[in-house]
Amino acid sequence: MAGVSSCMKYSMFVFNFLFWIIGCIILGFSIWIRVSKHTQEDFKTDSSLLPAVDLLIAVGSIIMVLGFLGCCGAMKESQCMLLLFFIGLLLILLLQIVAGILGAVYKSQIEGLVNQTLEKEMDVLKLASTNNKDALNKFHNFEMENKCCGMLKGKEDWGQNFLPYHGCECNQTDIGTIYCDKQHYAKTCATVIMEILKNNMVIVMGIAFGLAFIEIVGMVFSMALYCQIQKK
């Protein structure tokens, strides 16, 4: 009977040990963000950040568990652990494929959902009182950094807060440029946000393809080692 290849065994261990370290880094970093006093203040003003951090915690935990299963399965030559590792990677790969298909099919609905979220932010901007001074100043800083005005309708979105907080007012260095119209930025911030999302989609797709490649390599390694152990 053929024995288990040492090269395959240790390659599988190194691969999953790196996988496990990545999981530890993601989990540790996301937990640090979750409990940090500075980010706790940001969560109070923008609770939409919480699901993203919780998702990172979940992703880090899953990667750690899979890395542990892969390492132990390789070193102990455990078919059960290798099979669980293979199934875990397969499920993640299938979820990525389904998410990609749903994202392509429901692209217009997703954009509509983003617009609804921006409309809610517009209402907050318009109705905010002096108690929300920090939030209003932060948004105006966002306008100056991204050379934009308001959320969806320009300076109208500021409502009664337009003059007290100098909303949409151009930075001195931008006056006279194509970004500035009568000392106020011409482009809405919703347009800027959508451009940022579209640009980041390329990065997200690149990461997704990279992860898919790593997952397929891991599945091939685990199944090859599983078959070798079975023939042993």
The arithmetic mean of pLDDT across residues 131-137, rounded, is 71
Cβ atoms of 70 and 207 closer than 8 Å: no
pLDDT at 1 over 50: no
Query: Residues in the chain, how many?
Result: 232
Tokens 């930025």 — which residue?
185
Q: What are the structural domain ranges in the chain?
A: 6-231
Q: Give the tens place of pLDDT for each residue, 32-42.
A: 877 776 666 65
Report, as an integer, the average pLDDT of 184-208: 81
At 86 the pLDDT is 92
182 pLDDT above the threshold of 60: yes
**Average pLDDT, integer, range 94-101:** 84
Average pLDDT over residues 22-27: 87
Label each residue of 46-105 as H, E or C: CCCHHHHHHHHHHHHHHHHHHHHHHHHHHHCCCHHHHHHHHHHHHHHHHHHHHHHHHHHH
Instruction: Please check the confidence at residue 26 and state whether its pLDDT lies above 50.
Output: yes
Residue 39: predicted pLDDT: 63
Amino acid residing at 48: S
User: Over the chain, what is the mean pLDDT?
Assistant: 79
Two structure tokens written together for 83: 């099979």
Angle at 115 between CA 114 and CA 119, to 5 degrees: 120
What gap in Å lies between CA 80 and CA 2, rounded to an integer?
20
CA angle, 9 as apex, 7 and 11 as ends, to 5°? 65
Q: Residue 87's pLDDT is what?
A: 92
Dihedral in degrees, nearest 10, Cα atoms 200, 203, 209, 214: -130
